[in-house]
Structure 1
Amino acid sequence: MKKSTVTLVDVAKKAGVSVMTASRALSGEGYASEETRAKVQAAAQELGYAPNALARMMKGGRTNVIGVVVNDLASTVVNGFVTAISEEVRKYEMDMFIYNSLGDLGDGKGKRLSQLLHGLWDGLIYVLPRMSDDYLRTLEASTSPIVMINYCKQETTLPVVRGDNVNGARDAVAHLIELGHRRIAFVRGTAYTGQSDERERGYRAALQEAGIEGDPELIVQGDFNEQSGADAARTLLALAEPPTAIFAANDAMALGCMSALREKELRIPQDVSVIGFDDMAGSAVVQPGLTTLRHPVAPMAQAAVQELMRRIQSQPGRRQRIEFPSEFVIRASTGPGPEAPARKSRARARKQA
């Protein structure tokens, strides 16, 4: 019998049970003994029967599929969350579908969004979403179960699982201040998810708490990629009084900063200390190892799946905001602030050379 022609009736007949019993055994909804369930599943496997998710959805049933919406599959941070979400989804014996939006979460009125909200899944998880305000409003008005990870741009009625960016950034800059740094630069990332803005808030708070007046020249715009970090560092190094430390809003930009510093034959951290955020895979192996902050990816992914499952099962949600503290990881890219006279003399020597 060809797989395309196999129906639930065929499976029920093969297993020697009613169609209704076969349906309960395969869907997991309603009672079926373990013996019956095993017999029906064996018959389905032998016949090559695959339940039609669309048919189940049209009948008001669940598809046992979780949709995960991402913007950039090349991102190591996104990949970390997707992997952890997949592991948690398996615990519920469900499948996962990944939709790569390529950053195209536009006005909230397009065909793609409609397909997402009415697709073959029971609920959606958005990972680091870059979305317009209209798109967010449409999601908020939807009846589909939705959870977002690390969305900080604005307040929303949707449940959000997020890491603590503000206090993490404050800790990072306070560490640099304790090492004696006073000229501390910040490399911004894009404003899509709101994380960069929160990390900048932490940066400014640490300076203010230490009585250090912020210098607007020390805040440079990046784009969350390595090249933009290198460009930002070159801009900072061209200042009349360059920074002795750089805090970048993510690791990719911090690694770019380190490349630009090496171009100028500056030592890390003897001449300039560098801190990133996210603790991406390469941060521990680069030389020197990058001091950074990390969010607890696995616990956050678990919390997101668990919150989504509560809503899929029409149970009360845990809460609208689930926030996890950042962990500060100190490596070799940070050290004591260099003395200004010695640093200036080295700079003059390099210029003369």
Structure 2
Amino acid sequence: MKPTMMDVAARASVSQATVSLILNGSAGARFSEATRRKVMDAVQELGYRLPNRSQSGDLSDNRVICFITDELTTDPWMALAFEGAREKALEFGIIVTLGIFRAGEDPEEDVFSLCQQQPLMGYIFGTILTRKIDPPAALFTVPSVLVNCYDQDRRLPSIVPGDVAGGRAATERLIRAGRSRVALINGQEGLDNPRDRLRGYKQALASNDFTFDPQLVRYGNWEPSSGYSETHLLMDLPNPPDAIFCANDLMALGCVEALKERGKSVPKDVSVIGFDNRDIAQFIRPPLTTLHLPLFEMGAMAVEMIHDIAGGLKSSHDQLKVECALVERESV
């Protein structure tokens, strides 16, 4: 099989977004010379080549997929999903355009009205947070796929991360390391990701004959500050944890700093695992073991699905859950 941008990212130990920005020479992207060298060395070792637009014929005659999201700048997830969609679309000779949509906009002037003026193959609609949505009416007019969100009535196919399995994998990794008091610093209550990661955490405890202790579950706000403060509260317990599963890497950063302040060695005294596999995870000391949030892959899968649907193929799945793979580093 031909090497992919994901293979280059894994070889260079950087994100797919970093590889894309460097190889495409994106304006304003600033990286150290060492990072650029790692990426280019990985490209050479793997024999990777960017898809060539000219090999797909005249793209002006091809159709368009519009990638619509509710937010692009607060987190990298939709940018990664768009990059995955764009790279996969190039293989098919399809153009992917990007737009922002917010509920309440004038339907005569919103991004969907602009997209409908193009030779439209379909829509990808993504959200920055994994959540249930009421799909905009335009999504029902052409083949459409939801990314990181879902329709309660399953009227549209969706692709979401496997958060339950990921929460279980993270907790079981800590248990395999010999830990007996595994805590969870979760994200905000009421959101899909924290709910599902908690479910996976509980499943792992039950399957390994551990009793669920609600004192070991804390809720943060996804930021380092809450990982820091909640870790101190956990370590103040009469029987503190010897392992902490943080529901994202930013809270894990604060967690590790709090443990260092208390004179605890990671992972000798307390093991720590994160979730998301952000770029920062490899630069925490010790480098953070984490679960990879597969938004890049999900964007690529959405293009494949739209391409199949537009070609007359029907999927037997109304929702695909994509594995959040374990990334081993040194914090467990």
Scaled by the length of structure 1, the TM-score of the pair is: 0.66
1:212-231 matched pairs, under 5 angstroms: 212-231=210-229
Q: Which residue of 1 aligns with 2:231?
A: 233
Contact 2:59–2:95 (Cα < 8 Å) also in 1: no
Structure 2 residue matching 1:266: 3-state secondary structure: coil
Q: Which residue of 1 aligns with 2:266?
A: 268
Q: Which amino acid aligns with 2:203?
A: A
Whether 1:125 and 2:120 are equivalent positions in the alignment is no
Q: Which residue of 1 aligns with 2:97?
A: 97
**CA-CA distance at 1:274 after TM superposition:** 0.6
**CA-CA distance at 1:145 after TM superposition:** 3.4
The 1-side partners of 2:108 and 2:290 are apart by 36
**CA-CA distance at 1:245 after TM superposition:** 0.9
Q: Which amino acid aligns with 1:97?
A: T
**CA-CA distance at 1:157 after TM superposition:** 2.5
The 1-side partners of 2:144 and 2:204 are apart by 35
Structure 2 residue matching 1:187: 3-state secondary structure: strand
The 2-side partners of 1:148 and 1:110 are apart by 20
Q: Which amino acid aligns with 2:281?
A: S
Which stretch of structure 1 is more off in the superposition, 212-221 or 263-272?
263-272
The 1-side partners of 2:78 and 2:190 are apart by 15
The 2-side partners of 1:209 and 1:274 are apart by 21
The 2-side partners of 1:218 and 1:155 are apart by 35
**CA-CA distance at 1:227 after TM superposition:** 2.6
Cα distance change on mapping 1:236 and 1:156 into 2, 3 Å: farther
The 2-side partners of 1:324 and 1:81 are apart by 13
Q: Which amino acid aligns with 1:325?
A: E
Cα distance change on mapping 1:282 and 1:182 into 2, 3 Å: same
Q: 2:250 aligns with which of 238, 249, 252?
A: 252
The 2-side partners of 1:131 and 1:162 are apart by 7
Q: Which amino acid aligns with 1:284?
A: Q
**CA-CA distance at 1:278 after TM superposition:** 1.7
Structure 2 residue matching 1:246: 3-state secondary structure: strand
| Greater RCO, 1 or 2 (C-alpha within 8 Å, sep 6+) | 2
CA offset digits 1:85-136 (Å, max 9, x no partner): 22123334343333346xxx55xx5536982443325333233444886x51
The 2-side partners of 1:130 and 1:298 are apart by 15
Contact 2:130–2:160 (Cα < 8 Å) also in 1: no
The 2-side partners of 1:235 and 1:113 are apart by 52
Q: Which residue of 1 aligns with 2:280?
A: 282
Contact 1:130–1:192 (Cα < 8 Å) also in 2: no
**CA-CA distance at 1:193 after TM superposition:** 6.0
Cα distance change on mapping 1:139 and 1:311 into 2, 3 Å: farther
Structure 2 unmatched ranges of 5 or more: 1-57
Q: Which residue of 2 aligns with 1:150?
A: 148
The 1-side partners of 2:166 and 2:70 are apart by 24
Whether 1:316 and 2:314 are equivalent positions in the alignment is yes
CA offset digits 1:16-60 (Å, max 9, x no partner): xxxxxxxxx88527xxxxxxxxxxxxxxxxxxxxxxxxxxxxxxx
Structure 1 residue matching 2:205: 3-state secondary structure: helix
Q: Which residue of 2 aligns with 1:329?
A: 327
Specify the structure having the higher radius of gyration (Cα). 1
Q: Which residue of 2 aligns with 1:28?
A: 61
Which stretch of structure 1 is more off in the superposition, 311-320 or 159-168?
311-320
Structure 2 residue matching 1:118: 3-state secondary structure: helix
CA offset digits 1:143-172 (Å, max 9, x no partner): 343312233695632211223222222122
Number of aligned residues = 271
Contact 1:78–1:127 (Cα < 8 Å) also in 2: yes
Q: CA RMSD in A?
A: 3.1
Identity %: 27
CA offset digits 1:224-276 (Å, max 9, x no partner): 23233223223322323221111111222212211222233321112211111
Cα distance change on mapping 1:277 and 1:128 into 2, 3 Å: farther
The 2-side partners of 1:252 and 1:87 are apart by 28
1:75-90 matched pairs, under 5 angstroms: 75-90=75-90
Scaled by the length of structure 2, the TM-score of the pair is: 0.70
Structure holding more strand per residue: 2
Cα distance change on mapping 1:86 and 1:27 into 2, 3 Å: closer
Q: Which residue of 2 aligns with 1:48?
A: none
Q: 1:115 aligns with which of 89, 110, 117?
A: 110
Q: Which amino acid aligns with 1:84?
A: G
Structure 1 residue matching 2:198: 3-state secondary structure: helix
Structure 1 residue matching 2:321: 3-state secondary structure: strand
Contact 1:128–1:193 (Cα < 8 Å) also in 2: no
Cα distance change on mapping 1:91 and 1:137 into 2, 3 Å: closer
Structure 1 unmatched ranges of 5 or more: 1-24, 30-61, 335-353
